């Protein structure tokens, strides 16, 4: 005797199982099905059957663990396992951010644990700056995240992506930071780029691209070692600006 198991989160849809004949041809492969330890009524002596979660008083969003016991030499097949994968169903109740970048948001309607990605709009694109794991229950859930503001106006949102691959962004929140404007030095780069604000070294998020648009360096810091870059034209994103520079 063998067993096939699958687990996930009940999303309101049932599982369908293809149940071949056993290798001896005297009956069907599956012999017993349990859901969270409870035996499924009705038996498995058919070529295909449905696992009806309504028979087990399971609420949407609850975890489920299914075990299909079957004969050796054959194997049932679950036809739609994706229905147990969490879907992005959240909605925002409230979302705030301080001038220092302390993001807080409250959600409702989650039906599974999915990460929330925090995105900041800078350099003419959305940049992922962190993530917070969703709690997954359908109640109101509170979250916090500390991001690093750039100078001037900042625009922030949260995003979830589920198994469908669809990106579900929240509304945007904006705030004006008190961060000083960052500049880079020197103008002609040989070995190192330094980031300066008000005459002092300052850390900033950066990206460097070559002339063909390939990213060659990224990170957060007050300087970037450029000694291993080939000579030529490069583009750098830092603070909330993008510039071109020549590597000598």
Tell me the domain boundaries of the chain: 2-84, 91-176, 183-247
Percentage of the chain with pLDDT > 70? 100
Q: What percent of the chain has pLDDT over 90?
A: 82
Q: Domain 91-176 belongs to what architecture?
A: Sandwich (2.60)
Question: Is the pLDDT confidence value at 138 over 80?
Answer: no
State residue 79 phi and psi, 5-degree precision. -85, -25
Spatial neighbors of 157 by CB under 8 A, at least 6 apart, are 118, 119, 121, 126, 169, 170, 171, 172, 173
Q: 43: pLDDT confidence band, cut at 50, 70 and 90? A: confident
Look at residue 242 in the predicted model and tell me its pLDDT.
93
pLDDT for the residue numbered 23: 82
By CB atoms closer than 10 A (0-12, 13-18, 19+), residue 107 is: buried
What tokens does 17 get? Answer: 């199982």
pLDDT (0 to 100) of residue 37? 94
Helix (H, G, I), strand (E, B) or coil at 231: coil
How far is it, in rounded angstroms, from Cα 21 to Cα 45?
9
For residue 204, which phi and psi values (nearest 5 degrees)? -150, 155
What's the pLDDT at 60? 82
Q: Is it the case that residue 61 has pLDDT exceeding 90? A: no
Task: Supply 167's token pair.
Answer: 């990106």
Q: For the residues 124-153, what does the mean pLDDT come to?
A: 93
Residue 66: predicted pLDDT: 96
Nearest to 18 by CA among 86, 85, 76, 74: 76
Quick one: pLDDT at residue 164? 84
Question: pTM of the prediction?
Answer: 0.77
145-160 average pLDDT score = 95
Tell me the three state secondary structure of residue 186.
coil
pLDDT at position 11 is: 86
The CATH classification number of 183-247 equals 2.60.40
Query: Could you count the other beta carbons within 10 Å of the beta carbon of residue 7?
Result: 12
Whose structure tokens read 């917070």? 132
How crowded is the C-beta side of 42, counted as CA atoms within 13 Å?
A: 11
> Does the pLDDT of residue 25 top 80, yes or no?
no
- Per DSSP, the three-state class of 72 is coil
CA 136, chain centre distance (Å): 13
**Mean pLDDT (the chain, rounded):** 93
Is pLDDT above 90 for 136? Answer: no
Give the model's confidence band at 187: pLDDT under 50 very low, under 70 low, under 90 confident, else very high: confident
In this structure, are residues 97 and 28 in contact, taking their beta carbons and an 8 Å threshold?
no
Would you say the CATH fold of 183-247 matches that of 91-176? yes
CATH top-level class of 2-84? mainly beta
């Amino acid at each position: 005797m063998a067993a096939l198991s699958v687990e996930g989160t009940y999303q309101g849809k049932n599982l369908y199982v293809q149940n071949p004949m056993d290798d001896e041809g005297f009956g069907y492969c599956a012999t017993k099905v349990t859901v969270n330890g409870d035996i499924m009524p009705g038996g498995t002596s058919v070529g295909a059957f449905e696992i009806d979660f309504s028979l087990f008083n399971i609420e949407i969003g609850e975890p489920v663990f299914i075990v299909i016991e079957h004969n050796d030499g054959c194997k049932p097949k679950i036809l739609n396992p994706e229905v147990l994968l969490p879907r992005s169903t959240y909605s925002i109740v409230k979302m705030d951010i301080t001038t220092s970048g302390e993001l807080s948001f409250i959600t409702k309607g989650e039906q599974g644990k999915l990460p929330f990605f925090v995105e900041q709009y800078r350099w003419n694109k959305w940049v992922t700056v962190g993530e917070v794991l969703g709690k997954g229950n359908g109640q109101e859930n509170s979250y916090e995240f500390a991001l690093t503001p750039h100078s001037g106006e900042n625009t922030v949102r949260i995003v979830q992506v589920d198994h469908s691959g669809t990106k579900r962004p929240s509304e945007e929140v904006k705030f004006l930071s008190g961060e000083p404007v960052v500049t880079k030095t020197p103008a002609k780069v040989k070995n190192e780029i330094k980031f300066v604000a008000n005459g002092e070294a300052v850390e900033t998020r950066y990206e460097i691209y070559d002339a063909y648009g390939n990213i060659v360096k990224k990170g957060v810091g007050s300087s970037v070692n450029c000694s291993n870059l080939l000579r030529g034209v490069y583009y750098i994103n830092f603070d909330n600006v993008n510039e071109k520079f020549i590597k000598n």
